[in-house]
Amino acid sequence: MIRLEDKAEAAIERALSLGAEFADLRMESASGTSIIAMDGKTKTVTSKIEKGCGIRAFIGGGWGFAVCNGLDKLDLSKAAETSVRLARASKEKATLSFEIASMSSCRVRSEYPCRTAPSTVPTEDKLSFVLGLDKSMSAHDDRIISRSARYDDFEGERVVANSFGSLVKTRETWVLTSCSAWSKSDGAVQRGHDAVGNVGGYELVSSEPASNCGVSAASMAVRLLDSKPVPAGKFTCVLDNKMTGLLAHEAFGHACEADAILSGSSVLEGMEEKVVADEKVTLIDDPTIADTFGYFAHDWEGVKSAKHVLIEEGVLREFMHNLETSSRMRRPPNGAARADSYSSPPIIRMSNTYIEPGDMKRDELIEDINEGLLIKGAQYGYVEPAKGQFMFKCDEAYDIRNGEIGQRYRDAILTGAILNVLKDVTGIADDFKLVDPGYCGKSGQEARTTDGGPHIRVQNVVVGGLA
Amino acid sequence: MTGLSDLAEEVVHLVEKSGGEICDVLIVDMWATTAEVERNSVKQAEYTVDPGLAVRVYEGGSSGFAYCTSHEKQDIEKAAELAVSQARAGTPDSDFRGLPEVSPCQSIDCLYDPILASLEPEKAIDMLLLLVDAASDDARVASVNAGLTVSASEIALANSNGLVRSQRMTSFDVFAEAVARSGDSMFSGMDYASSRRLLSDSTVAVGESAKQQAISGLKQTKMETGDFPVVLDPLAAGYILASSIGGGANAEGVQRKRSYLAGRLGTTVGSEILTILDDPTLGWAVGSTSFDGEGVAAKRKAVIEKGELKTYLHDTYTAGKDSVETTGNSSRGGAIWSYWDPPAISFSNLVVRCGDASLDEMIRECDKGVYLRVTFDSPNLATGEFSGLLMEGYAIEKGEVGPAVQQATMGIDMLDMFARVDIIGKQQRYAFGVETPALRISSARIGGSG
């Protein structure tokens, strides 16, 4: 049997022999399980069997990318030929010409830390865990009227190879569990949710956060029963750990992806080494943090992962790069290229994004606010870097009057301008947490990420609501 | 096609022999080509082939599902074995009443465009460059980013009741983002189009529209917080309705009491001028299909008729649970179907019945208000409350569209929004799965930064 790495190198050679100036590939063989339980019963138990390869060829400014769902030599050779044909077609019509700067080759095998491979655990055990989460939600409060509990695991062997001689084999394992609960009282229905995820194996389900995931979701659903729609207007807001993370990710992180800079669609173009935030703000994206959902050791172009200091004490220092943007912007590659599977080309993505802690206490952020909001829990957010606008939606908000926390609100959305919001940060607490595992969507691809930070105080935030 | 249907039937027999007596099998053979432009220059062309197969097995109402990314015998046998074992591992469910029986099903036209199916990547690149020319035809446009994807599939679906269906589908998607700059001002305009047939003219129109919006947005303003009439462009209306009706009327959410539309069947949920259909037979629309993801023949039905909620969207499971006929809304995901996920309830194409007002007339009716062109927000389906960003919204002053509104939000309860639809436009467009004209909402809460 021919080894995967030998097949990979043969395919790269084929692309080069047909005229590619640079070529790389991602080859994967993966399996996984998903279990969804609703209201005490399993809805579906899913198994996946995936294998295939995506090959990229580059000629003078044009890329070609071809995907096949097989790993035999013929499939790979044909995909290599197609990628070169497409690269040539792109190059012929491209008005921009550039080269991919050579990088030192990297030949390594890495394995994400994993004590218990999910594939060695019987489905019945996983099912018992999911039904246990479901039960914990129903037992939490009589007002819980519906529940969903979900478990996902993934085990994959990935080979990344390129024509600079890199060959990175990665054994990737991760587990994610999530719960949603719906409560009802006096005709009003509310939803609570929580998620816990990490690279690693089945040992995650024994952790306290995973065991408490159901109770956490149910508690939120019950808490929100006495909430009111949030008033719309401009407020000073204190953001909790999750919302600080979402702010770092949506309000700034996306605009620091160098593909957005080169495509002319980020307001941060030309802003390197300029002040973009209050001097208290240091904003990081760091895939090297072990034991997080956003962890990876090498990116999907075979570059060793690295900590990205995007903002240092208020000054824009760095963008996140892939091989193309680092070549074109004459910066060292910093390992931010990711693909959500072999069938997608690698693009620049975040990993673990956060704001570093300050030296204030959370209560100090709140005590001198006369009229404001405490914003807790993250639902979702999005940004359009070219408009310089972002939004994100929270789970819960609380009225702050004269330093006291009062009425509970729901579904507040926060919006602002990328170039202003971090200048409006007026306080940073010392209670740092990386807390919010999930997926970030970009160009039709999903990447596992974690966000976080300390509580922070921001002024002039536009809050949207029904009241 | 016969080949795929035969294979689907063979796999059903294989699953039955493995112990999966109640099962369905989806075989997919698809390819796609994509061209991308970054900053006015061709960046990348892609070609994907994605053959695969999905097996779903029921045992005592418990559902097991497995898929593999090939049609190879070894992978198929493994998927069949896994689906059976997963079904056995799950909990029994007495609400499951079985898979669809053999029944007549008329193939609808307008699913497959042979010209599109044979489009070469080089041609896709040429079409995209025409879009770029149109989008960059103004000195203020600093950058155009765009993409065009052509996909085609052949699928076959078979189940253990002897039902066998097959069809071919094509899909065409094009989008453009134009970024305009003037002095310190920067704004981006976007547009897109999708269809099951080749849209050469629309491709250029998408570029022109993105350019126009980018330039329009260079003049910017802020609004104060208050209640104002809002004219929803079909792009914004489509996005909001896809989630609020498509998600809110999903029978699974309703049965589990998670939807704001639960308990409202047969009641008034909107203005009497509001009629919304679910129509899988809509010509060339990307949600159209001859049968749903379980093989049930496609049918057109009113979801809301003159303000009254007429039906929820069912698959066979939820229909069985409510003892009603399925509405044929089981989806296998996406325009050309996918084997990667279990079937789930979804709308096909939502169609909002037209009124008789032009967009200009609708705007002229507002002394002070908002023209919301783009938002990417969805309501909280449990409460029906919507709060979203005016991603691309314009102030209306004295009946005319003015500058783009910066950092502003819209908040409204969905039932209030449906009730406050007081003018409906006469010009439809297809956006996010919804064929809709512009809608005027008499009042919504605008959160402003002014």
This complex has an ipTM of: 0.93
Distance, CA of B209 to CA of B187 (rounded, Å):
14
Is the distance from CB of B387 to CB of B411 less than 8 angstroms?
yes
Question: Are B125 and B231 in the same domain?
Answer: no
Residue B159 lies in a domain: yes
Query: Does residue A193 surpass a pLDDT of 90?
Result: yes
Over residues B209-224, the mean pLDDT reads 96
Distance, CA of A6 to CA of A11 (rounded, Å):
9
Amino acid at B194: S
Whether A45 and B86 lie within 8 Å, measured CB to CB = yes
CATH number at residue B149: 3.30.2290.10
Give, for A62, the enclosing helix (H) or strand (E).
strand A62-68
Query: Does residue B146 surpass a pLDDT of 90?
Result: yes
Over residues A36-41, the mean pLDDT reads 97
Strands B392-397 and B368-374: antiparallel
Name every residue whose Cβ is closer than 8 Å to that of residue A180 and which is 6 or more positions away in sequence: A147, A148, A191, A192, A193, A217
Q: Give the number of other CB atoms < 10 A from CB of residue A459.
A: 16
Question: Are B19 and B135 in the same domain?
Answer: yes
Q: Give the pLDDT of residue A385.
A: 82
B184 band by pLDDT with thresholds 50, 70 and 90: confident
Write out the residue range of the structural domain in which residue B428 sits.
220-236+354-447
Nearest to B149 by CA among B350, B335, B376: B335
A60 band by pLDDT with thresholds 50, 70 and 90: very high
The strands making up B350-352's β-sheet, listed across from edge to edge, are B308-309, B301-305, B276-278, B350-352, B434-436, B429-431
Query: Does residue B2 surpass a pLDDT of 70?
Result: no
As a whole-number percent, the residues of chain B with pLDDT over 90 amount to: 97
Classify residue A303 by its DSSP letter. Answer: P
The phi, psi pair for A282, rounded to 5°, reads -125, 125
Over residues A53-79, the mean pLDDT reads 96
Domain boundaries, chain A: 4-226, 228-464
Q: Helix, strand, coil: what percent of chain B each, to 5? A: 25, 40, 40
Q: Collect all residues of chain A within an 8 Å Cβ-Cβ radius of residue B76.
A: none
Q: Collect all residues of chain B within an 8 Å Cβ-Cβ radius of residue A413.
A: 377, 387-389, 409
Smallest CA–CA distance, residue B330 to chain A, in Å, is 15
Distance, CA of A454 to CA of A432 (rounded, Å):
4
A131 three-state secondary structure: helix
Q: Collect all residues of chain A within an 8 Å Cβ-Cβ radius of residue B447.
A: 232-233, 462-465
Whether A87 and B89 lie within 8 Å, measured CB to CB = no
Q: Give the pLDDT of residue A436.
A: 81
Over residues A397-417, the mean pLDDT reads 94
Question: Are B141 and B227 in the same domain?
Answer: no
Q: Collect all residues of chain A within an 8 Å Cβ-Cβ radius of residue B79.
A: 47, 49
Q: Give the pLDDT of residue A215.
A: 98
Helices H, strands E: what count in chain B?
10, 23
A2 band by pLDDT with thresholds 50, 70 and 90: confident
CA atoms within a 13 Å half-sphere pointing along the CA-CB vector of B130 = 15
Over residues B257-285, the mean pLDDT reads 98
Does A382 contact chain B (CB < 8 Å)? yes
The overall longest dimension of chain A from CA atoms, in Å, is 72
Residue B278 lies in a domain: no
Q: Helix, strand, coil: what percent of chain A each, to 5? A: 25, 45, 30
A344: which 2 tokens?
């997608």
Identify any residues that bridge with A118 across adjacent strands, giving them in sequence order: none
Question: Are B143 and B225 in the same domain?
Answer: no
Residue B409 lies in a domain: yes
Question: Are B370 and B420 in the same domain?
Answer: yes
Question: Are B225 and B120 in the same domain?
Answer: no
Q: What spatial distance separates the first Cα and last Cα of chain A, rounded to whole Å?
A: 67
Residues B409-435 have pLDDT tens digits of: 999 999 999 999 999 999 999 999 999
Distance, CA of A156 to CA of B113 (rounded, Å):
37
As a whole-number percent, the residues of chain A with pLDDT over 70 amount to: 100
Topology of domain A4-226, per CATH? PmbA/TldD fold (3.30.2290)
Over residues B326-354, the mean pLDDT reads 97
State which residue of chain B sits closest to A418, comparing Cα positions.
B407
Give, for A270, the enclosing helix (H) or strand (E).
none
Question: Are B181 and B229 in the same domain?
Answer: no
Q: Give the pLDDT of residue A384.
A: 84
Question: Are B25 and B133 in the same domain?
Answer: yes
Distance, CA of B336 to CA of B31 (rounded, Å):
10
Domain count of the fold of chain B = 2
B11 band by pLDDT with thresholds 50, 70 and 90: very high
Whether B45 and A50 lie within 8 Å, measured CB to CB = no
Candidates B44, B72, B173: best to mutate against A (most CBs of A within 10 A) is B44
Question: Are B146 and B224 in the same domain?
Answer: no
The phi, psi pair for B149, rounded to 5°, reads -125, 130
Over residues A422-450, the mean pLDDT reads 95
Residues A127-156 have pLDDT tens digits of: 999 999 999 999 999 999 999 999 999 999
- Report chain A's mean pLDDT, rounded to a whole number: 95
Whether B188 and A184 lie within 8 Å, measured CB to CB = no
